[in-house]
């Protein structure tokens, strides 16, 4: 496979595609036209979502002003407080500081699970600093915080500016962030190529449409979107025995909302899904191909064998992967998460430099090739050759993943914020 269909699709949808915005809807129209052209049936699923259009941020200390990027879902804000600098989120618990009415500078954002406790300490704002000085990182908080009124204003600034700001520790500073946080409706596209046999067994292929604010989202994830387009084109002409459902989800960047919404509405289908393939981050011209199996050791062995037999270099491991596969694996569906990393595009994900200039068909074709081979192998077998099982250790990791993001296990695909019958705690 050449990767040319994938690359051409990327060119057509390139640009910022925040879930639930006009720009994402334009990308969806492009996807719909492609599906109509290759004569693949599809449907759309729309769901409500909380999103932000993020503006500029500013940190003011006396006569000095530093620019910053506000976190999505925390805008707009204008706060003042005493600057405290700490090194680790654990310092909120370990240091005997009075954090009341403070603005805390910290290297990394605390886990979502910690936010409720930090808010109780009356922290007015948190400042993080970027891994680089020469590009904008796009960051956001979680929808559950917005829903449960647990938002703490946050802003990200340049590393070099953070060093200068440290000189003002214990002094009053002012932080503001412009933008708008609002409710919108996002849309996922679900397509299906029906298999030639009568079996109810299916295989799912998924990836997300949306990008984070500020980022053109080339590698993350128009690369995955493009690869899925090439796979649909191929399997429309080479129909397997088992049906393949292709899910192009929205809202992944804001909390896996599209996939969680889909699974919540289609739980009866989970038992018939042999496995899923999730493609998220692709396109590095120079890089390595990875397959993270959220399932079991047997699937890892099969993936290695298929790659080796077909001369495809692929690094296979067993672990969880923070993407749309998680809602499926939470319900027992093993998933193979394909991505390509090691070059500039993947290094620029969630920044303003995740652009098409660093991507070519050669950076897409290896994952297209592997996906075709594993789908043909599993889609045409007399029996499913991939053991449909998520092992206990991986199940625990999946549960911890959601809990650490402030999502209770009965809210992963049940009692979601957009359902009227949400349970009261």
Residues 207 and 318 both lie in one domain: yes
- Predicted pLDDT at 422: 42
Question: Could you report the per-residue pLDDT of 257-302, keeping only the tens digit for each?
Answer: 999 999 999 999 999 999 999 999 999 999 999 999 999 999 999 9
User: What's the Cα-to-Cα distance from 320 to each of 112, 248, 293, 327, 401, rounded to whole Å?
Assistant: 18, 20, 7, 11, 8
Nearest alpha carbon to residue 189 among 45, 327, 48: 45
The CATH number of whichever domain residue 273 belongs to comes to 3.40.630.10
Determine which of 53-62, 264-273, 372-381, 401-410 has the lowest per-residue pLDDT on average: 401-410
Question: Are residues 165 and 295 both part of a single domain?
Answer: no
b/e code 1-26 from CB counts within 10 Å (16+ = b): bebebbbebbebbbbbbbbbbeebbe
Same domain, 219 and 301: yes
How far apart, in Å, are the Cα atoms of 243 and each of 34, 141, 197, 199, 406? 20, 37, 8, 8, 35
In this prediction, residue 335 carries a pLDDT of 98
What is the pLDDT at residue 421? 42
- What pLDDT, on a 0 to 100 scale, did the predictor assign at position 407? 86
Number of Cβ atoms within 10 Å of the Cβ of 268: 7
Question: Is the domain of 369 the same as that of 302?
Answer: yes
Judge if 174 and 314 occupy the same domain: no
User: Are 127 and 173 a contacting pair, CB within 8 Å?
Assistant: no
How far apart are the C-alpha atoms of 182 and 78, rounded to whole Å? 18
Examine the domain organization and report whether 159 and 18 are in the same domain. Answer: no
The predicted structure's pLDDT at residue 340: 97
Determine if the peptide bond prior to 330 is cis (ω within 30°).
no
Q: Based on the domain organization, do 320 and 404 belong to the same domain?
A: yes
For residue 415, what pLDDT band results from cuts at 50, 70 and 90? confident
- Residue 133: its pLDDT value, please? 76
Paired tokens of 221: 């994830």
The residue-averaged pLDDT of 402-420 equals 80
Q: Show the beta-strand stretches assigned E in 86-193.
A: 102-105, 125-129, 154-157, 172-193
Q: Is residue 416 part of a domain?
A: no
70: left (phi over 0), alpha (psi -120 to 50) or beta: beta
Q: Check whether residue 285 and residue 407 sit in a common domain.
A: yes
- The string of pLDDT tens digits covering residues 174-188 is 999 999 999 999 999
**Average of pLDDT values for 199-209?**
97
Q: Is the preceding omega at residue 76 within 30 degrees of 0, hence cis?
A: yes
Phi, psi values for residue 210, rounded to 5°: -75, 155
> Which candidate, 225, 412, 391, 399, places its Cα nearest to that of 294?
391
Q: Which DSSP state fits 334?
A: -
Q: Which of 179, 212, 228 finishes a domain?
A: 179
110 and 64: one domain?
Answer: yes
Residue whose structure tokens are 């922290």: 123
pLDDT at 417: 61
pLDDT at 4 over 60: yes
> Residue 86 maps to which CATH number?
3.50.30.30
Whether the pLDDT of residue 408 is over 90: the answer is no
What residue numbers bound the domain in which 216 lies? 4-51+184-411
pLDDT tier for residue 423 given thresholds of 50, 70 and 90? very low
Check residue 221 and report its DSSP letter. Answer: I
Angle between helices 223-237 and 22-37 in degrees, nearest 10? 20
The stretch 163-183 carries a mean pLDDT of 95
- What sign has the CA pseudo-torsion 374, 17, 286, 339? negative
* pLDDT score of 419 more than 90: no
Q: Residues 86-106: pLDDT tens digits?
A: 999 999 999 999 999 999 999
pLDDT tens digits, 311-336:
999 999 999 999 999 999 999 999 99
Identify the H or E element spanning 318.
Answer: strand 315-318
3-state DSSP helix/strand/coil percent for the chain, to nearest 5?
35, 30, 35
Residue 230 and residue 281 in one domain: yes
Taking the CA atoms of 145, 149, 152 and 156 in sequence, report the sign of the dihedral they define.
Answer: positive
Q: pTM of the full predicted structure?
A: 0.93
Among 127, 150, 179, the domain boundary falls at 179
CA distance 297 to 114: 33
What integer pLDDT is reported at residue 352 of this predicted model?
87
Q: What angle do CA 140, 141, 143 make, to 5 degrees?
A: 120
Determine the Cα–Cα distance for residues 210 and 84; give it in Å rounded to an integer: 35
Tell me the pLDDT tens digit for each residue of 343-380: 888 989 998 889 999 899 999 999 999 999 999 999 99
**Alpha-helical runs (H) found in 38-108:** 91-94
Q: How many domains does the chain have?
A: 2
Q: Is the pLDDT of residue 222 over 60?
A: yes
CA distance 346 to 349: 5
Q: Are residues 217 and 300 in the same domain?
A: yes
Residue with tokens 């809990």: 403
């Amino acid at each position: 496979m050449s990767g040319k269909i994938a690359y051409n699709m990327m060119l057509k949808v390139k640009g910022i595609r925040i879930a639930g915005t006009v720009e994402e809807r334009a990308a969806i129209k492009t996807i719909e036209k492609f599906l109509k052209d290759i004569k693949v049936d599809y449907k759309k699923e729309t769901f409500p979502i909380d999103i932000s259009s993020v503006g500029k941020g500013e940190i003011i200390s006396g006569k000095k002003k530093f620019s910053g990027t506000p976190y999505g879902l925390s805008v707009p804000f204008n706060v003042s407080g005493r600057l405290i600098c700490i090194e680790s989120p654990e310092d909120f618990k370990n240091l005997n500081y009075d954090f009341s009415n403070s603005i805390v500078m910290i290297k990394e954002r605390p886990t979502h699970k910690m936010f409720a406790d930090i808010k109780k300490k009356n922290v007015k704002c948190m400042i993080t600093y970027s891994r680089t000085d020469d590009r904008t990182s796009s960051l956001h908080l979680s929808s559950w915080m917005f829903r449960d009124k647990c938002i703490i204003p946050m802003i990200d600034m340049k590393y070099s500016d953070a060093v200068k700001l440290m000189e003002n520790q214990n002094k009053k500073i002012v932080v503001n962030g412009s933008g708008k946080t609002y409710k919108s409706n996002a849309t996922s596209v679900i397509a299906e190529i029906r298999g030639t046999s009568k079996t109810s067994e299916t295989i799912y292929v998924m990836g997300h449409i949306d990008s984070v604010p500020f980022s053109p989202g080339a590698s993350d994830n128009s690369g995955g979107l493009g690869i899925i387009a090439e796979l649909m084109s191929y399997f429309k002409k080479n129909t397997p025995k088992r049906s393949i459902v292709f899910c192009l989800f929205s809202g992944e960047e804001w909390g896996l909302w599209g996939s969680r919404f889909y699974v919540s509405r289609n739980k009866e289908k989970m038992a018939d899904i042999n496995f899923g393939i999730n493609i998220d981050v692709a396109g590095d011209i120079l890089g390595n191909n990875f397959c993270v199996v959220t399932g079991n050791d047997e699937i890892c062995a099969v993936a290695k064998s298929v790659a080796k037999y077909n001369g495809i270099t692929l690094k296979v491991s067993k672990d969880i992967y923070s993407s749309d596969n998680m809602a499926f694996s939470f319900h027992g569906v093993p998933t193979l998460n394909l991505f390509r990393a090691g070059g500039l595009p993947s290094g620029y994900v969630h920044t303003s430099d995740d652009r098409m200039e660093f991507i070519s068909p050669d950076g897409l074709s290896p994952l297209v090739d592997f996906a075709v081979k594993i789908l043909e192998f599993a889609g045409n077998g007399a029996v499913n050759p991939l053991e449909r099982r998520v092992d206990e250790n991986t199940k625990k990791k999946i549960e911890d993943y959601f809990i650490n993001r402030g999502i209770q296990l009965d809210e992963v695909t049940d009692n979601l914020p957009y359902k009227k019958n949400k349970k009261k705690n």
